[in-house]
């Protein structure tokens, strides 16, 4: 592993062999570049929330709020009029609402994967992206939850989804995958919030202490008296706000010991969730006996697709943030490479699944199944199928090339294409199978209404609003954990410029 030890212990014969094959030395890139020190990291991350909001933040926030109001209008329209305002009609009774639900739930998966599985696998590069990815997960779950909640029709009866005792003496249908979904998604949401919040406690303590220090030192050098007192009041607010949220964190040794243990336990708890949530979402389709849905490949294929779209979304969010906040030393090319490679891996699994579905449709020799797949590719929805296939199968293959991975703008555009493709995947799965089922006389064509479009477009506004609030008020990256993986954190690393520290 270490070049020092290999050099010292090999004999002459081995040395001759080594000279002959001339192995390339693989240099592991450090996770925090430019030889930054600990206080630089603390300052960099804390100042995002401590300094005044940049102009782009206000612009984005206004746009996001206006867009989010679309969802509100769409939902008011829906509830006051009835579910008929959505484009649902026999035989297609699962339209955009289910597509959007699966789309948003899928996006959340990257956060859980980064925070749970990469933590257990001791992947140091997770540290600078995990907080934002976890926030993304939670906000995506919020957006996802809206759709099935309102799809029940009478939203005021949505509490019937939970097994609560009632005067009707009835229980939810526990044999239905839709009911499993309720538990899968609510567990997922709860554990994600716990994980996100618990991981933030040390950083909230840092923000609290910095506000207290500024207040006691009284260093407010602003241009006017008004600005000065505003800055002071902001710190008073921070003192209490972060003081409450930090729950008495004192940075003590036993605090850190408990924190590490709790973090590990939560990582263990949420690891199965990475796989289970989208497996159960796929059961919504796979348990039904509809050609094109009733396939055993769905769970692994859905999970891979979810992680694929989730990492797409992480790239979509982190690349602009890196540029806007100047975080190039924290989110390095190594981080982007790794995320691109995960997109490549999961995207290839998704592409394999698309092809395997066709193979099984032929190999299974079921005429309805073969029809369902031929219809997908060449039927009335073939345009959606081609968008899905080109975005999901061809786009990630470009990540094989280093030049592509190093071109941030290109990676950003591709990351958006990935999520366009993944939305169309859910559309193709949901709608094509329903539109052309066993009975040709009942076939139909589904089109969304303006209400569908408004409600869905608005969820991007809701997601952005929540994410912008997160940027403004909560620490974007785990300060302590980044310091663990810095070259400077390893006192023995000085001899070789910190190359061994990861």
Partner 1 sequence: MANIFPKWVNTVPIKVIVALLLIKTAIVLGITYYFSPQYTRVGYAPTQPVAFSHEFHAGTLEIDCRYCHTFVEQSGHSNVPGTNVCMSCHSMVLKDDARLATVRQSYDSGEPIPWVRVHKVPDYVYFNHAVHVNRGISCVECHGKVDEMEVVYHAKQLSMGFCLECHRNPEDYIRPVEEVYNLDWERPTDPGAVKEIEEFVHDWGVNPPQSCSGCHR
Residue written as token pair 């782009």: 56
Q: Taking CB under 8 A as the rule, does residue 219 contact partner 1?
A: no
Query: Terminus-to-terminus CA distance in the chain, angstroms?
Result: 12
Contact 189, 112 (CB under 8 A): no
Q: Which of the 8 DSSP states describes residue 158?
A: G
Phi then psi dihedrals of residue 92, to 5 deg: -100, 90
Contact 184, 161 (CB under 8 A): no
d(CA 413, CA 41): 29
- Of 240 and 473, the one with the shorter C-beta distance to partner 1 is 240
Q: Taking CB under 8 A as the rule, does residue 217 contact partner 1?
A: no
Detail the DSSP E strand segments found in 68-215.
none
- Of 5 and 168, the one with the shorter C-beta distance to partner 1 is 168
* C-alpha to C-alpha distances, 144 to 99, 139, 241, 381, nearest whole angstrom: 10, 9, 29, 24
d(CA 233, CA 216): 13
CB 216, min distance to partner 1, A? 7
- Of 157 and 383, the one with the shorter C-beta distance to partner 1 is 157
d(CA 388, CA 67): 25
CB 497, min distance to partner 1, A? 37
Structure tokens at 40: 């630089």
Check whether the bond before 494 is cis (ω within 30° of 0).
no
- Of 16 and 247, the one with the shorter C-beta distance to partner 1 is 247
**From candidates 83, 178, 201, 212, binder to partner 1 by CB under 8 A:** 212
Q: Taking CB under 8 A as the rule, does residue 176 contact partner 1?
A: no
- Of 24 and 170, the one with the shorter C-beta distance to partner 1 is 170
Q: What angle do CA 408, 413, 419 make, to 5 degrees?
A: 125
> Could you tell me which stretch among 26-34, 118-126, 162-170, 266-274 binds partner 1 (CB under 8 A)?
162-170
- Per-residue binding letters, 241-260, with partner 1 (x by CB under 8 A): --x-----------------
Residue written as token pair 């869905």: 456
CB 99, min distance to partner 1, A? 27
CB 239, min distance to partner 1, A? 6
CB 452, min distance to partner 1, A? 28
Contact 240, 268 (CB under 8 A): no
> Could you tell me which stretch among 17-25, 40-48, 208-216, 288-296 binds partner 1 (CB under 8 A)?
208-216
- Of 25 and 216, the one with the shorter C-beta distance to partner 1 is 216
Q: Is 107 helix (H, G, I), strand (E, B) or coil?
A: helix
> Which 220-239 residues touch partner 1, going by CB under 8 A?
239
CB 224, min distance to partner 1, A? 28
Q: Taking CB under 8 A as the rule, does residue 166 contact partner 1?
A: yes
Q: Taking CB under 8 A as the rule, does residue 167 contact partner 1?
A: yes
Report the 10 Å Cβ neighbour count for 383. 9
Point out which residues bind partner 1 (CB under 8 A): 166-170, 208-209, 212-213, 216, 239-240, 243
């Amino acid at each position: 592993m270490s070049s020092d030890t290999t050099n010292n212990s090999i004999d002459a014969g081995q040395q001759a062999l080594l000279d002959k094959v001339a192995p390339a030395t693989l240099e592991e890139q450090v996770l925090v570049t430019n030889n930054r020190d600990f206080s630089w990291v603390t300052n960099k991350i804390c100042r995002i929330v401590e300094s005044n909001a940049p102009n782009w933040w206000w612009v984005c926030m206004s746009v996001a709020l206006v867009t989010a109001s679309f969802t509100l209008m769409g939902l008011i329209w829906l509830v006051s009029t009835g579910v008929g305002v959505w484009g649902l009609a026999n035989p297609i009774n699962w339209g955009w609402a289910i597509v959007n639900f699966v789309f948003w739930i899928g996006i959340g998966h990257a956060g859980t994967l980064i925070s749970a599985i990469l933590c257990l696998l001791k992947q140091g590069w997770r540290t600078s992206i995990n907080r934002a990815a976890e926030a993304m997960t939670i906000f995506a779950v919020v957006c996802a939850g809206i759709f099935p909640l309102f799809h029940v029709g009478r939203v005021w009866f949505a509490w019937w989804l939970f097994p609560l005792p009632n005067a009707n003496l009835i229980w939810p249908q526990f044999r239905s995958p839709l009911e499993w979904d309720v538990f899968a998604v609510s567990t997922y949401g709860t554990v994600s919030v716990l994980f996100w919040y618990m991981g933030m406690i040390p950083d909230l303590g840092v923000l609290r202490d910095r506000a207290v220090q500024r207040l006691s030192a009284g260093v407010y050098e602003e241009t006017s008296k008004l600005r000065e007192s505003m800055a002071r009041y902001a710190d008073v607010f921070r003192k209490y706000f972060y003081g409450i949220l930090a729950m008495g964190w004192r940075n003590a040794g036993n605090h850190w010991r408990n924190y590490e243990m709790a973090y590990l336990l939560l990582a263990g708890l949420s690891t199965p969730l990475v796989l289970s949530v989208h497996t159960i979402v796929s059961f919504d389709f796979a348990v039904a006996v509809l050609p094109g849905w009733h396939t055993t490949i769905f769970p692994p294929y859905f999970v891979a697709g979810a992680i694929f779209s989730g990492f797409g979304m992480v790239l979509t969010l982190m690349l602009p943030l890196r540029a806007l906040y100047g975080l190039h030393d924290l989110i390095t090319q190594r981080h982007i490479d790794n995320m691109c490679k995960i997109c490549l891996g999961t995207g290839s699994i998704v592409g394999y699944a698309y092809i395997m579905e066709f193979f099984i449709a032929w190999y299974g020799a079921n005429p309805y199944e073969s029809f369902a797949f031929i219809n997908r590719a060449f039927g009335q929805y073939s345009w959606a199928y081609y968008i899905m296939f080109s975005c999901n199968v061809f786009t990630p293959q470009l990540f094989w090339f280093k030049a592509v991975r190093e071109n941030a703008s290109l990676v950003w555009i591709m990351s958006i294409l990935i999520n366009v493709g993944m939305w169309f995947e859910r559309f193709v799965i949901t709608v094509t199978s329903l539109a052309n089922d066993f009975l040709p006389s009942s076939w139909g064509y589904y089109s969304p209404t303006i209400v569908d479009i408004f409600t869905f477009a608005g969820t991007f506004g809701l997601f952005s609003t929540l994410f912008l609030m997160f940027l403004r008020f909560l620490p974007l990256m785990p300060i302590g954990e980044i310091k663990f993986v810095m070259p400077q954190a390893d006192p023995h690393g000085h001899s070789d410029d910190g190359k061994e520290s990861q």
